[in-house]
Amino acid sequence: MKILITGGAGFIGSHLAAYFINDNEVFILDNLSTGHRSNVDFIDDAHFIEEDVMHKSFVTELIKQKQFDIVIHLAAVVSVVETINNPINSQSINIDSTLNLLEANRQYNAKLKKFIFASSAAVYGNTDELPKQIETFIDPESPYAIEKYAGEQYAKLYNKLYDLPTTALRFFNVYGPRQDPSSPYSGVLSIMDKKFKNDEPFTFFGDGEQTRDFVYIKDLVQAVAIVIDNEASNGKIYNLATGTQISLLQIFEKFKLIYNKSISYQFAEPRSGDIKHSCAEIKGLEALGFKPQYDIVSGLTEYINYSKTDK
């Protein structure tokens, strides 16, 4: 199959590309604003397209010419704080580009077998109900959350109105190798890992009691592959997680055990837009055959062993 991954030079996209490259022709579209060419050095220059997903005419022409079987749309402003600081710009990238990509495939790509939109658990906001279910009341608390919700709903609507084979996946807290800890808004596990590796103090934003449903990158890849192969997922939205929550303080203790040492830590004010508790109901994906293979200890152990060799 011919696969396009937007934002494919980033953390999640690079793992998906590495998985699918074995039996498919994989193209990556990435402007390298946050992704890294080195993440996908196994993709040759003919299949790596350094371009902005905002470039509507270019993206439309690319869809026309290549006739992709699969489109995995990851490109986005992923920092909640960045969307708060500049909501107009993030709307253009996170909503307008998604709509343009859907429309280009609707009009010019008769070969499309699956369009996957990367949504986020952020859409739920701080609603009390746990675990979060697809039918749970949506209460976005940031432009990022609103933009992801709009994107997934457009994907759903394009299936309903135009029979485009779309699926939206609400990613919970994904972690694993190649996650960039350099950004202050990167995944908390990659930041914590960097602090432990370098014996630096870690900062909890809030009291550390906030919980997350962490999903290892290999389980995410497994879920995407299952969705791609299953037509019953068309027009649907799924939580992509493990169905288990753990607090950041508990995670810190896991790091201490795996590293066999401790580091100092401090507490700061919670960040705007952050949610307190998060845990997913994943019965929808499980019905398709998804079963997480990594619990938090096995996932962290594999991730940390990788990071120790990544100097």
Cα(279)–Cα(130) distance, integer angstroms: 6
- The closest alpha carbon to 164, from 63, 234, 68, 75, belongs to 234
Burial group, residue 182, by CB count within 10 angstroms (0-12, 13-18, 19+): exposed
Percent of the residues in the chain that have a pLDDT greater than 70, as a whole number: 97
Structure tokens at 245: 């929550």
Measure CA 54 to chain center. 19
Do 2-174+215-240 and 175-213+244-308 fold alike per CATH?
no
| Confidence at residue 179, expressed as pLDDT on a 0 to 100 scale | 85
Give the CATH number of domain 2-174+215-240; options: 3.40.50.150, 3.40.50.720, 3.40.50.620, 3.40.309.10. 3.40.50.720
Note whether 273 and 121 are within 8 A (CB): no
Residues 6 or more apart from 102 whose CB is under 8 A from it? 115, 154, 155, 158, 164, 166
Query: What are the tokens at 156?
Result: 């759903």
Q: Return the CATH class of domain 175-213+244-308.
A: alpha beta
Could you tell me the pLDDT band of residue 78, with boundaries at 50, 70 and 90? confident
Distance CA 120, CA 162 (A): 24
- pLDDT at residue 185 is higher than 90: no
% of the chain residues with pLDDT over 90: 85
- How does pLDDT run across 245-270, given as a tens digit for each residue? 999 999 999 999 999 999 999 999 99
Annotation marks residue 144 as catalytic = yes
pLDDT digits (tens, 9 = 90+) for 38-48: 999 999 999 99
Residue ranges per structural domain of the chain: 2-174+215-240, 175-213+244-308
Among candidate residues 19, 108, 124, 144, the one labeled active-site is: 144
**Residue 111 zone, left/alpha/beta (φ > 0; ψ -120 to 50; rest):** alpha
| Chain CA centroid to CA 57, Å | 26
